[in-house]
Amino acid sequence: MELYYTSTRNREVRVTASQAILQGLSEDGGLFVPESIPAMEVPMEELAQMSYQQVAYQVMSRFFTDFTEEELKSCIDRAYDEKFDTEEIAPLVKAEGAYYLELFHGATIAFKDMALSILPHLMTTSARKNHAEHEIVILTATSGDTGKAALAGFADVPGTKIIVFYPENGVSPIQKKQMVTQKGDNTYVVAIRGNFDDAQTGVKKIFNDKAMGERLAAAGYQFSSANSINIGRLIPQVVYYVYAYSRLLKNGEVAPGDQINVDVPTGNFGNILAAYYAKQMGLPIAKLICASNENKVLFDFFRTGTYDRNRKFVLTSSPSMDILISSNLERLIYRLAGEDDQANRQLMEELGTTGTYAISAKMREKLEDFYGNYASEEETAEQIRQLYEDTGYVIDTHTAVAARVYGKYLEETKDSTKTLIASTASPFKFIRSVLSAIDGKYADMEDFAQVEELSRIANVPVPKAIQEIRTAPVLHNTVVDVEEMPAIVEKILKVSQK
């Protein structure tokens, strides 16, 4: 049965999966959502015997119904190959009673690889299926990880160009070096003077600029997105939660039907929304634990039912979560509103004009699946140090936020349900913060000396992604003001603004 997609802001919209992937964002500014969440009908005992690639097909084929079996399996096989540095694509590590799902063994050592390895293949297949005549321009804002993963995925992919905007002072040194050294004749990296929300808002404005879209179309281009606002980014993330549960079952950690909790460090809300979709498919998830850093807009939302971005933006040691506008939350709000597109549109318009909105009491009742909390900078550092001292296991700053919030959840609830923590980045990606947390003596070491030291104390090899950027030349050095974002896009694409 074919599954169609609609817009969170206009239920009159009805497109296929490939059309939604190709378009990225609905023309009305809404996000594409499936008209219904398909059931995961394959018994978990069968999934437990499957490879990651096979589980991926079982999940994605239920969402991407206009792809043939051959097309989808080809995308999956090309995405989940030797670019991952472990035999198991997403290994589980048990430490201090929790199960860490390591999602950082891809080409750019962050969880974004799990979806951005496949998105270029889904996108180019979608273009062929829909006889797209225009070259696809991937336009993306990043708080650090999406940018590099998207650049790596789309580099030199025929029929595409990719432009990534990142906050000049809002990413880690390693994240920045990964982006500005990116090779590929079709890759462009631009720093903005502002924060991630400024970059993300700027990108959305470009998407919604009809006149600019017409100029690009005349020049042979069409925009799409690699952010998790693209449904082709979001659905592949559902896979690893299903896969993780199947591994817990295979390893005898849970019995069939046993519930687990899922704890996710959360910024743009895409990763935890994927876990919510997995739960809606029938995966036995009890609580969805939403972990925030000091930019705790989501914690406040779950506590009060009011979303309020009118606050000081805090630069933290977990920069991929330094976000005040969590775009993917709109998909949840749409479901909480009973798929009422007009109610959702009104809330999003309030967010755009006043920076805040409040959901109804009835909608709040539907949030009982979620638990929200946050970790301060001091708590995050303490979590890294304590886990290392107790177990020898080293986690990055984002994973540490989730681990500390899990500790708070345990204290509050005494819930003994087995819990999966999404480990979203390699500690090598945020090495200065990680080593400084473990011991202040490392603080003055040069970046790549720190790399060797972390490899030694954690007893893990230096990732290939880090080795590659040691001596790589800087290829991208453009910096612009937020207001200049449309102009730099048109300059890159050589599109006349007349």
Q: Which residues are catalytic?
A: 112
CA end-to-end span of the chain = 47
Query: What is the spatial distance between Cα 238 and Cα 325, in angstroms, rounded to a whole number?
Result: 22
Query: If we measure between CA atoms, which residue out of 260, 231, 263 comes closest to residue 247?
Result: 260
Is the Cβ–Cβ distance between 79 and 118 less than 8 Å?
Answer: yes
Query: What is the spatial distance between Cα 134 and Cα 117, in angstroms, rounded to a whole number?
Result: 22
Hey, what amino acid is at 260? I
Question: Position of tokens 């453009």?
Answer: 478
Query: What is the spatial distance between Cα 75 and Cα 70, in angstroms, rounded to a whole number?
Result: 9
Query: What is the spatial distance between Cα 38 and Cα 40, in angstroms, rounded to a whole number?
Result: 7
Encode burial over 230-250: b for 16+ CB neighbours within 10 A, e otherwise. bbbbbbbbbbbbbbbbbbbbe
Query: What is the spatial distance between Cα 162 and Cα 160, in angstroms, rounded to a whole number?
Result: 7
What single string gives the DSSP state of each residue in 304-345?
Answer: HSEEE--S-----S-GGG--SS-TTHHHHHHHHTTS-HHHHH
